[in-house]
Amino acid sequence: MRSTLLSLSLLSLLGLSAGQPRHQHQHLHRHRANRAPIAKRDKVTVTDSKYSTTTEVPEVVVYVDQNNNPIRTTTETVVYVPATVEIYEASTPTTEISPLSTKAAPVVESESSSYQTASPTTQQASSSQLVSSADSYPTSSKSASSSAASPSSSSGALHGVSYSPYKGNGECKTADEVDADFALIANDYGVMRLYGVDCDQVATAYAAAKKYGNKLFLGIYDITAVEDAVSTIAAGVQNDWDIVDTVSVGNELVNDGAATVDQSISAMNQTRSLLRSAGYEGPVVVVDTAVAILAHPELCDESDYCAINCHPFFDANTGPDAAGSFVTSTVSSIRSKLSDSSKRIVVTETGWPWQGESNGEAVPGLDQQSTALSSIKTAFASNASNVILFTAFNDMWKKAEAATFMAEQYWGMGGQYSPSDE
């Protein structure tokens, strides 16, 4: 309860102070894309594709009003029901959903337990919403990704790239499909950034990275299950730790109000010590947005290097040719807040969509994307390995959302689709 309320305040604070609230929207939908609340009596039932079996968990539930002001906080049993493919693919146009309401799953008519079977689009009609802290800890890592590190051969010469092993229908890619993806892009990038350990992705990406000569930026998406994740990682890379560039813990959780700063840092601390015991000596970091890191530089101070996601597209005053300077000036701002100003800073996601709606001067398009990527590459010409480009392929498993300019699926560089989605 405390953490959720803190998160609410944090989001408001960031929205007010950062001047680029859009920045916060970007990944929220990823966490709730497949949710649709359904009615039940005394328990909150949430359809969620991240669960493969029906799962009941006690959760702190915060009821909020239309303006996201908390009304009441309780502990209730939340029943997660696996989503069907049909729900997954259902495309409901979602408009005018605030960042907080995109996180909100169930909807209630009042403070009583009469849960509506409403879709997220109807939330505004209800008198109050319900935000479950369970949203804070997605167990599936179907989020975006990218990374930057030095390739095994030429250090620092190549950018990293984010990579997600999901097909357009939401299914996991097989080892062969991951191999086919790597075959197309492996030579262009040093590090491949993954976001989670589901879908056997550590093992399938390890096999491909070994074959094509890449390094891996691995991710633990669910910070409440780091022990299992570390075991999965160790098994997936067969204790061949040299191939691991970085292990990240959480992606934009503080930005999304899904975890507190302390929760993020303790999860990282725990992960680091587990990884050290398993034989990995490389960097362990928290990844969050530039906005969240500016507000909480300790996230970087406690990380082995500073890892930020930074998207010029979400700044309405930044056109494609200013993308590079937007990123470098953001990096400078962050540097000025670090307790060690010489610390390495890696931009773990940056890119530009090739399709979607315009955000002021930030206009999507293939030409615009090309201009933005050149601008970013030029700005980081001397340290390409400090940038992970977002993203390798169009993410057809995501959902178009008004809050992210209907562009969420179309950040694949060069408009490229994965062979599995063709």
Ligand X SMILES: *[C@@H]1O[C@H](CO)[C@@H](O)[C@H](O)[C@H]1NC(C)=O
Q: Catalytic residue positions?
A: 349
DSSP structure class, residue 324:
H
Shortest distance, position 345 Cβ to ligand X, whole Å: 4
Cis omega (within 30 of 0) on the bond before 53?
no
Rg, Å, the chain Cα set? 20
Strands 70-81 vs 44-47: parallel, antiparallel or unpaired: parallel
Beta carbon nearer to ligand X, 252 or 302: 302
Answer yes or no: are the C-beta atoms of 160 and 388 closer than 8 Å.
Answer: yes
Question: Across-strand partners of 390?
Answer: 351
Element (H, E) at 286: strand 284-289
Shortest distance, position 336 Cβ to ligand X, whole Å: 11
Q: Which residues contact 307 (CB under 8 A, 6 or more apart)?
A: 246, 248, 285, 286, 287, 288, 300, 345, 346, 348
Residue 160 burial by CB count (10 A; 0-12/13-18/19+): exposed, middle or buried? Answer: buried
CA distances from 195 to 72, 154, 163, 164, 373 (A): 34, 24, 8, 7, 22
Beta carbon nearer to ligand X, 128 or 263: 263
Q: Which residues contact 126 (CB under 8 A, 6 or more apart)?
A: 107, 108, 109, 116, 118
Please tell me whether residue 247 adopts helix, strand or coil conformation: strand
Residue 125: count other Cβ atoms within 10 Å of its Cβ.
11
Residue 346 burial by CB count (10 A; 0-12/13-18/19+): exposed, middle or buried? Answer: buried
Strand-by-strand arrangement of the 44-47 sheet: 36-38, 44-47, 70-81, 55-65, 128-132, 107-108
Buried b (16+ CB within 10 A) or exposed e, 27-45: bbbbbbbbbbbeebeeebb
Shortest distance, position 219 Cβ to ligand X, whole Å: 19
DSSP structure class, residue 115:
B
Shortest distance, position 147 Cβ to ligand X, whole Å: 13
Shortest distance, position 114 Cβ to ligand X, whole Å: 40
Tokens 């975006």 belong to residue: 144
The DSSP string of 57-88 is EEEEEEEEETT--EEEEEEEEEEEEPPPHHHH
Answer yes or no: are the C-beta atoms of 289 and 310 closer than 8 Å.
Answer: yes
Nearest to 196 by CA among 170, 174, 218, 167: 218
Beta carbon nearer to ligand X, 218 or 347: 347
> Under the rule (CB under 6 A), what is the footprint of ligand X?
262, 265-266, 269, 302, 328, 331, 345, 347, 380, 382-383, 386
